[in-house]
Amino acid sequence: MAYPTPEDIDAAIPVDGEPSRALTNAAIKSIIAEANATANEPRTPTGPAGGVLAGSYPNPSFAEEMATAAVLTSALETKVDTTLVGQSGGVASLDGAGKVPLSQMNLEALAYKGLWDAENNIPTIADGVGEDGDFYFASSAASVDLGSGTVEFDEGDIVIYHDGVWSRLGSSQIVQSVNGMIGNVVITRESLGAMPDDYQPTWDDVQNKPNTPAMRGSIGPAIPALRVPLVDIQSIPNATRTKVTQWGGGYDQFNIRSGGDFMIPPWAAYARVTCSVATWDLSAGNYLHLQLSRNGNVVATGAARGMDTAQLPVASVDTGIMGVSGGDIFTVNVMHNYGSSRNITNTGGTMINIELFESF
C-alpha cells in the first residue's frame, strides 16, 4: 500500500480554497496535539446566567428520597403475584360483587350443617373455626362480620367454610329449583307442560299468526260445503217452473241437503252457490231457463238456447259471495218452452256447488 505524499495531503486539505504547501505533516501533528490537550482541560461555565452553559448549576437532586433495598424487599413481601391469581396453588380471585367465583372453590366433600340465623349468628360461626366444606343455609338476612369484614347475607344464601374463612355463596349463584321443584327432580314431558308427539294445534292455539281479519276484511276463508250431481233424470213439463229434486251422491260436509232443499248451517255468514243444468236436445229458438232462489226469492238466473238435436244445452248460475243466515233455504228451479216435456240429464252437466264462509 502506498502512503500519501505531502503533496497529496496539501491538495486534499486546501486552505481558503487553495492548496497550501505550508500545511506539512509536522503542522498537522501539532494541530492534533493541541486539540487533544484542550479537550482534556476542565471547563467551568462563566458569564451571566442564561447563556449557553453559563452561570452556576447546583448538584442534581431527586424530588423524593429513593427507596432503599430493605424498603423494597418489605413492600414486595406483602404483594400478590398476579400470575398466581385463580391458579392452582395460588390465590382465589374475586368477582364484581367481591365474592369468590364458584369455579375457584373446592366444593368436594361438602358437609351440610343445617340452617344458620345470620341476624343472630346462631349457631355461632367465625373465621378460623370449622372444616373445609362445612356450609349452612342462611335463614335470615343480615350484615355480618365473621372475621374478614362485613358481608351482606340474604335469606337463602350459603355460608361455606374454606381455608380458614367463612364466605358467602349467594343464592343467585346456585340452582334454587327446577321448574318450581326442589329435591331429586325428575324431568318429564308432563312436568314441563309439553304437548304429546301427536299434538295438532287448532287455529286458536297458533301463536303470532297473521291478522286474517285485517287481510280479508270480515270474511273467513272459503269452506267447501257441498257438491252433488243429479242422480236421476227428471222430467220438466213445458212452460212450467219446476223445482229440481233428484240431487244425490257427491259430498255434503254439513248435511245441508234434504231432497231439493239446501239449508245453510247456523255458523255461516256468507255463501256462494253455483249451479248448472243440462237438458235433452232443444230445437233452435227454444230456451232452457234456470233460477236459483233463497227462501223463495230468486237470487240468480241463467239460460241456454236450443241447438241441434244431437246437443245438450247447459244453463248456469253463480250467486257470487253473498250474505246468508243460518236456516236459509236454497232451491233450484228450471223451465223451458220446447212445446212438450223435456228431461234434464244426469250425464254430468247438472251439478250444484256450495261454499260457506265464517264472519270474523
Give CA–CA dist 159/140, Å, rounded: 12
Integer Cα distance of 249 and 264 in angstroms: 19
Mean pLDDT over 31-58 rounds to 55
Average pLDDT over residues 319-343: 94
Judge if pTM exceeds 0.85: no
Conformational region of residue 127, where left means phi above 0, alpha means psi within -120 to 50, and beta covers everything else: beta
Mean pLDDT of the 275-279 span: 93
Mean pLDDT, range 53-82, rounded to an integer: 63
Of the chain, the percentage scoring pLDDT greater than 90 comes to 36
Residue 17 has pLDDT above 70, yes or no: no
pLDDT, average across residues 140-157: 90
Average pLDDT over residues 89-105: 69
Residue that the C-alpha cell 247438472 belongs to = 350
| pLDDT tier at 144, thresholds 50, 70, 90 | very high
Dmax over Cα atoms in the chain, in whole Å? Answer: 160
Is residue 150 within 8 Å of 188, Cβ to Cβ?
no
SS (H, E, C) 84-138: HECCCCCECCCCCCCCCCHHHCCCCCCEEEEEEECCCCECCCECCECCCCEEEEE
The type of residue at 19 is: P
| Nearest partner of 255 among 225, 229, 232, judged by Cα | 225
Q: What is the mean pLDDT of residues 147-175?
A: 83
pLDDT of res. 63: 47
pLDDT band at 266 (very low <50, low <70, confident <90, very high): very high
pLDDT at 119: 92
Given a cut of 80, whether residue 290 has pLDDT beyond it is yes
- Please give the pLDDT value at position 186: 78
CA distance 275 to 316: 6
Say how far residue 237 (Cα) sits from the centre of its chain: 71
Q: What is the mean pLDDT of residues 305-315?
A: 79
Specify whether the CB–CB gap between 145 and 121 falls below 8 A.
no
- The whole-angstrom separation of Cα 32 and Cα 23 is 13
pLDDT at 11: 61
Q: Please state, in angstroms and as integers, the Cα–Cα distance from residue 263 to each residue in 295, 329, 353, following that order.
A: 10, 5, 13
**Does the structure show a pLDDT above 80 at 126?**
yes
> Is 41 a residue whose pLDDT tops 60?
no
Q: What is the pLDDT of residue 354?
A: 97
pLDDT at 200: 82
Q: How deeply is 317 buried, as exposed, middle or buried, from its count of CB atoms within 10 A (0-12, 13-18, 19+)?
A: buried
- Can you list the domains of the chain with their CATH numbers? 102-173 (no CATH), 223-357 (2.60.120.40)
